[in-house]
Structure 1
Amino acid sequence: MNWIKEQNYKSPNKRFINDLTFHEVYEQVTDLTGKLSSYVKMETRVAIYSNNSVDMALFFLALQLLGKEVLMLNIHLTESEIKRQLELTKVQVVFSDNNKFICFNEVQQSERENIKLIEEFEAERIVVIMNTSATTGEFKSVPLRWKQFSAHVKASQKSIGVTTRDNWLLVLPMYHISGLIILMRSLYNGTQITILEKFDEEQLLTLIERGIINMISIVPTMLNRIVERIENHKLRVVLLGGEFIPKALVQKSIMRNIPIYKTYGMTETTSQSTTFSVLDYPEKIDSVGMPLENVDILISNPDENGVGEVLLKSPMLMDGYLGKVDIAGYFNTEDVGYIDEDGFLNIVARRTDIIISGGENIYPKEIENILYTHPLIDECVVVGHIDKKWGQIPILYVVSSLNEHEILKYLSNKLAKYKIPKKIIYLKELPKNSVGKILRKNLDSVN
């Protein structure tokens, strides 16, 4: 099924992307395909390098109508990283919002050719390629196909619902799955999105207070900056994901009746794998929710408390990394967690983040959750450092006006002694990636 054509037929006059209706998007996208044709005729795979914009969305959709696989490039990569990604994915044609590559404007000003467009989006065809862990210099390419997007949008619709008034804020970068999936969900649901180039507190608060948007996908660092300023709102869903969601932030949201839906997923699983409404299940605040439809989660090698490696399989799971062997059965998320008696998934830590000190497992999330309950802790992260005596020791990186003695005293009667950070390093801001996730691996360079 061609979702773009279908929504033009079903809801031509309904707004889709900002002020553009589905019909206007369809007209602009089909026009753009004719202009793009001469640039991509001989290409199977092309790339987009851009900040969020209406043009970026239109180019992505037009390339789908041309049947092209689209590599989404992170605009924060270095020149050498971009070069390596293009080489390894065999991409020669790149479109961008500036003159770095082939500029959107150049294409829009070019002559249009009459071409035949794809009528049906074939299930096995690759839609997009996204590279993970690019900030470390070592990346894996994740190809996502129409069958995975189709399974996701249907499962997500059942999980969080859909209304005719939905207007989903798209502020997370579309070169990440958390941003692009908003475009895909809304295209499938026939609902509106509002694209912002980047996160802006005042702009976002205005959209919320005026009731222009009623759905948001956001990461904890963004929500933390605005949560206490949200007064009047008509929000239906605030999808909150990321590596770590402070319990204190969720509690603040509950107090303000903000409809938080905690979510857990990754690029490899086409975004969400679990979610739940915190307002509906406040007693499950520590969990990341119930599996979406057809998502099967298995805890491998559990300890006496049922904590083990989180494995999953679902129709939303990628077939396998580009150029690698396909996944057979369950996929190891490299997260550690457990499933409670009600079927809610709880993530304890990333397997690589667990600190083993003197034979004891220390979970950074436990320490960070306690610290975030203090009003003078702005940001914090706990990581393990190699120690000759203990193997590893916990080190705290923090943004706070509290001194070291005050922090240690606050933790002393809340944690076992071996969990107390052995060193505290103060920073003005923790390093983050483009969607606001804290980059633990980058902390070694500031120590």
Structure 2
Amino acid sequence: MTTAAEMLQSEFCSFADVIHAHATERPGAGAIVAPGKRLTFAELDSYADRIAVGLQQHGVQSGDCVAICGLNGWAYAALWVGILRAGGCVAPLAQSSTPEALVLMLADSAATLFFADANIASEMDLPDTVTHVSLDSDAAFGAWLPEEGVSPDPVAIDPEQGFNIIYSSGTTGTPKGIVHSHQMRWRQVTAFGGAIFTPDSSAILSTPLYSNTTLVTFLPCIGNGGKAVLMQKFKTREFLELSEREKVTTAMLVPVQYKRLMEEPDFDSFDLSAYQVKFCTSAPFAAELKADILKRWPGGLVEFYGMTEGGGSCALRAHEFPDKLHTVGQPMPGHEILLIDEEGKPVPQGEVGEIVGRSGTMMKGYKNRPEQTRETEWYDEAGNRFIRTGDVGRFDEDGFLTLMDRRKDMIISGGFNIYPSDLEAVVAEHPEVEEVAVIGVPSEDWGESPVGVVVGPSDAEAVRNWTNEKLGKTQRLAAVHIVDELPRSAIGKVLKRELRDRLKLG
């Protein structure tokens, strides 16, 4: 039998197979630590088998999507492995989405099984074609599971078939589904193996399992035989207590979480000596905060810059380059990043341009959206495919990338992606609103917060309250400002940069 170590040296292997190999070689080793329950690799593997059998009994075929929506927990983690073992494609959905958006995502993914907390499913108008399985308790989930000791029919995995679909947040229309292949995810698992994740590793995860931010740590950690410590909700003291008790070696956090941890009065009283490295991504990361973390928190600090769509990514090893904390680092090994001008031509070193990148970790495309997939692609003269980020940056003389602005108007709040067009569509439905623009403004607590600027109404707070009742929790407007008119360019485009400048001044 091929060992886990041999699998991890291969160009491709099924993720579910390597979990089985770890379970065979180290059955009693810890795999998952979740609220109320711990799983060894043998237990995780057994649950994965039972889940896969249940899916096959339901009629799930290779390539079919299975949806999950709920808080982090042992069952959520086991579902990832079980769905993949059955040959399915995981569609993890954000529990902060509106019921209407969740129904649209289920329809787009064509999932016929929906594992979700009961309070989420109860608010949805689920079609008859979708079967809901509750994740609210071990008993509820256990009632669906086949008996222990069953084995699923073996399924051959094509490296290019869908591993997961990550949906953008959305309130109107169908959110975009980013499809990642098995090959892409396997490359992430092996890229982080050895130097970062080993069987002795322990990673704490306090962001949701539907987020790519979480998955780029969760999958490589358990894929390399490490232990994943899951939190349902981020709380500073609980995070620190878990880190000390579980001897955590790695964490993936967004900047707002780092900020709150460093502000925790008792932070320095916890034993965090087991930490080897900490990761950060998903939002602007202040240089001052990085410096404070380096001073007070053992282990290295690495900031990643990239997109859920993949393409080119940068990494800043802050502990090695303390004079580059204002940057997002250099392109990672095997990643190529270029800056292009408005005409799609590469710019010289030192000049500002839109960031495009390519690597072995790139999305297959947006599900059911070939035109939008093409819009996010750029090809060089040799025909190589790059992913456009919509961000603007500049490389310094040492090859470190500094982000200058975000050409796309996406707002990143608390590590969550918020698309202004989704919010604008909701605000525009208000009977008194004539025009609307939503922009991101700096927030000490969240990094950025969405703010609406409207023409027409007389009561800004009434518009904000009306809108927020129709939005997901992470999308809600922090404020609404009333103006006489929106600034526009000669061709009628709203000048959002000018709106941001006005708010800063006013």
Q: TM-score range by the shorter chain?
A: 0.7 to 0.9
Identify the match of residue 109 of structure 1 among 140, 143, 155. 143
Q: Which runs of 5+ in 1 are unaligned?
A: 355-363, 397-417, 424-447
Q: Aligned residue for 1:191?
A: 226
> Within 2, Cα distance between the matches of 1:116 and 1:388?
59
Amino acid of the residue matched to residue 33 of structure 1?
A
Deviates more, 1:55-64 or 1:22-31: 22-31
Q: Aligned residue for 1:11?
A: 26
Tell whether 2:223 aligns with 1:182.
no
> Within 2, Cα distance between the matches of 1:391 and 1:183?
40
Question: Pairwise mapping of residues 14-163 of structure 1 onto structure 2 (< 5 A)?
Answer: 14-18=29-33, 19-41=38-60, 44-98=64-118, 100=121, 101-104=132-135, 105-110=139-144, 112=146, 116-118=152-154, 121-134=157-170, 139-157=175-193, 161-163=196-198
Equivalent residues of 2:313, 2:331 under 8 A apart: yes
Amino acid of the residue matched to residue 56 of structure 1?
Y
Identity rate, percent: 23
Q: Aligned residue for 2:367?
A: 322
1:184-219 Cα distance to aligned partner (Å, 9 max, x none): 111221111101111111210212344621211001
> Within 2, Cα distance between the matches of 1:313 and 1:147?
15
Question: In the TM superposition, what is the alpha-carbon distance from 1:59 to its structure 2 partner?
Answer: 1.4
1:424-443 Cα distance to aligned partner (Å, 9 max, x none): xxxxxxxxxxxxxxxxxxxx
Q: Aligned residue for 1:173?
A: 208
Deviates more, 1:30-39 or 1:290-299: 30-39
1:217-250 Cα distance to aligned partner (Å, 9 max, x none): 0011111111143314122111111221122211
| Cα 1:66–1:379 shift into 2, 3 Å | closer
Identify the match of residue 277 of structure 1 among 314, 317, 324. 317
Identify the match of residue 233 of structure 1 among 267, 272, 278. 272
- RMSD between superposed Cα atoms in Å: 3.2
Identify the match of residue 262 of structure 1 among 303, 309, 317. 303
Tell whether 2:370 aligns with 1:334.
no
Identify the match of residue 326 of structure 2 among 267, 270, 286. 286
SS in 1 for 2:392: strand
> Within 1, Cα distance between the matches of 2:187 and 2:157?
13
> Within 1, Cα distance between the matches of 2:140 and 2:497?
55
Amino acid of the residue matched to residue 122 of structure 1?
D
> Within 2, Cα distance between the matches of 1:345 and 1:304?
11
Equivalent residues of 2:86, 2:155 under 8 A apart: no
Equivalent residues of 2:53, 2:86 under 8 A apart: no
Q: Which runs of 5+ in 2 are unaligned?
A: 1-12, 122-131, 342-346, 380-384, 411-438, 454-485
Equivalent residues of 1:393, 1:421 under 8 A apart: no
SS in 1 for 2:408: helix
TM-score (norm 2): 0.68
> What number of residue pairs does the alignment pair up?
383
| Cα 1:252–1:294 shift into 2, 3 Å | same
SS in 2 for 1:269: coil
> Within 1, Cα distance between the matches of 2:321 and 2:145?
56
| Cα 1:34–1:380 shift into 2, 3 Å | closer
Question: In the TM superposition, what is the alpha-carbon distance from 1:27 to its structure 2 partner?
Answer: 1.7
Question: In the TM superposition, what is the alpha-carbon distance from 1:15 to its structure 2 partner?
Answer: 1.1
Equivalent residues of 1:353, 1:384 under 8 A apart: no
Identify the match of residue 282 of structure 2 among 235, 239, 242. 242
> Within 2, Cα distance between the matches of 1:292 and 1:98?
42
